[in-house]
Structure 1
Amino acid sequence: MRLLPILMIAGAFCLGASQAQAGGSLKDGDFGDSGRCVGGAFAGPYAGVHVGFGSLRSKNTAGAYVSGVPIGGIDASDNDRGFSIGGHAGYNIQCGRVLFGVETDFNYFDADTSALLGSTAFLGSSIDWYGTLRGRLGLVSGDNFLVYATGGLAYADVDHTLFDPGAPGGSFSASSGGTQWGWTAGGGIEFMRDGNWSIRAEALYVDLGSESESYAVTTVCETCSTRVSWDDSFWVARVGLTYHFHRDEPAPYVPLK
């Protein structure tokens, strides 16, 4: 998946929303006074929890060097699925049937990959948690149903390992880890029921970019080294329950007679 197609889809979504607003109606009814952002079923702050599952994909490369001169390279990749659970919170502004919002979430995610390089070496990626900070743009139908697109910043705790038990001169291992930053995009639907409670289903794609490390492999020779890279991305599908902290709507002004 690439960012450009996602941006094109989001642009078409925004254009359709603006055209519908200009026309004053959608299939399911009139926009009403969409120029006034005075509240709505989804307006205001909210918080909730969600569960789901995802699939981590890691693309790996490794190059061998002697005295800084490249002598070969290998590519490999691996996939792994894992369980995800977390919480989300945000704030919505609803203008008629158009919704604008910002949301953040933090999640546990158990997934790790191990790609075989050659006959004995492995490159691994492991994710323990991830989070996002996203904008949301949506359309409300029937006062209780929302469809939305979302995208923004993503970050995750990623550990990378290199292990070669069959390296000439003895086994070799190295590791690195920390917070990686990237981007996310996706979409979902949300249904309001029982007053302040809503249920949702959504999917996100997260690209964490690439990380590269160079290691001296003195077990092979004094001037031998390797440069390895990890390119990590994953998607996650999840369902959630949200509580909306609705503000009291002001009473309509009635002039005295």
Structure 2
Amino acid sequence: MRKILMAGVAFAALNVASAQAADLAARPYTKAPIAPAVVGYNWSGFYAGVMGGYGWSDRVSVGGLTTSSSDLQGGFGGGQIGYNWQAPGSQWVWGLEVDAAGSDIKYSETGFIGIFPVSLEDKVRSFGSVTGRIGFTTGPALFYAKGGYAWADNRISLTVLGLNYTESKVLSGWTVGAGVEYMFAPNWSVKGEYMYADYGTSTYLTGVVAGGVDLGATTHTVKGGINYHFQ
């Protein structure tokens, strides 16, 4: 009797398993939908950071004579603050930025007037700008152009017969350039940038040379930097 009962139970279990297998086979297999990962990059808000780079002269004007020169060159380092606007759903970004840097961009020369040694140094001690910029985002990258007001603290140092004469002036001009910024982590971005600046012409050495000497220069700078975004 026990054998007959066990056989009946096994037969019933086999029929249930077969029915379930047939039911599963009749259903088409579909994968559960997976929502695509969406990463948003919001450039709106205030930011601040540090930067550094290298600069050189492009055109030097002395007393009305203009020549191409890259003798005025050197490094610099400083920082920037700014604000970006980006409309929801838009890839366009508008912004304002203020930057300033201490500089070692300079040129020096030593020679003789007759038998007397003379040395001259022209040094951009610091410079900065106030610019507007417009950019276009693609993923975490922001490609932008910028331009606006530029200033530079330029110093001329002249030594003749052991006597030193130094004159510093803050020059005003304009600047324009472009760059790319990359959001590599939440609130953090790195950037690379090129700028061209023209600081105009000013008169130096009026206390040494009759009528003074007019000096003017344009510069190129390349820089890298990192920003923190307060979002």
Same fold, judged at TM 0.5 (above): yes
Task: Report if the CA contact (8 A) 2:61-2:67 is conserved.
Answer: yes
Report matched runs for 1:88-99 at 5 Å: 88-95=80-87, 96-99=90-93
Deviation, 1:207, is 1.2
Which of 142, 148, 167 pairs up with 1:146?
A: 142
- Mark the structure with the bigger radius of gyration: 2
CA distance in 2, matches of 1:174, 1:76: 26
Task: Report if the CA contact (8 A) 2:72-2:107 is conserved.
Answer: yes
Q: How far does the alpha carbon of each residue in 1:102-139 deviate from its partner, in whole angstroms, 9 at most, with x for none?
A: 00111111021236899676654211111111000111
- Alignment TM-score, normalising by the size of structure 2: 0.69
Match of 2:184 in 1: 193
Report matched runs for 1:53-202 at 5 Å: 53-57=54-58, 59-62=60-63, 79-95=71-87, 96-114=90-108, 124-142=121-139, 144-163=140-159, 174-202=165-193
Deviation, 1:213, is 3.8
The size of the alignment, in residue pairs, is 187
Distance of aligned partners of 1:111 and 1:191 in 2 relative to their CA distance in 1, 3 Å threshold:
same
CA distance in 2, matches of 1:182, 1:52: 20
Match of 1:28 in 2: none
Q: Which amino acid aligns with 2:217?
A: D
CA distance in 2, matches of 1:236, 1:44: 26
Task: Report if the CA contact (8 A) 2:59-2:66 is conserved.
Answer: no
Q: Which amino acid aligns with 1:201?
A: G
Q: Secondary structure at the match of 2:186?
A: coil
Q: State the identity %.
A: 30
Q: Secondary structure at the match of 1:79?
A: coil
Structural RMSD (CA)? 3.1
- Runs ≥4 in structure 1, deviation > 3 angstroms? 73-78, 114-124, 161-165, 171-175, 213-217
Match of 1:5 in 2: none
CA distance in 2, matches of 1:123, 1:77: 16
- Alignment TM-score, normalising by the size of structure 1: 0.63
Distance of aligned partners of 1:117 and 1:225 in 2 relative to their CA distance in 1, 3 Å threshold:
farther
Distance of aligned partners of 1:210 and 1:116 in 2 relative to their CA distance in 1, 3 Å threshold:
farther
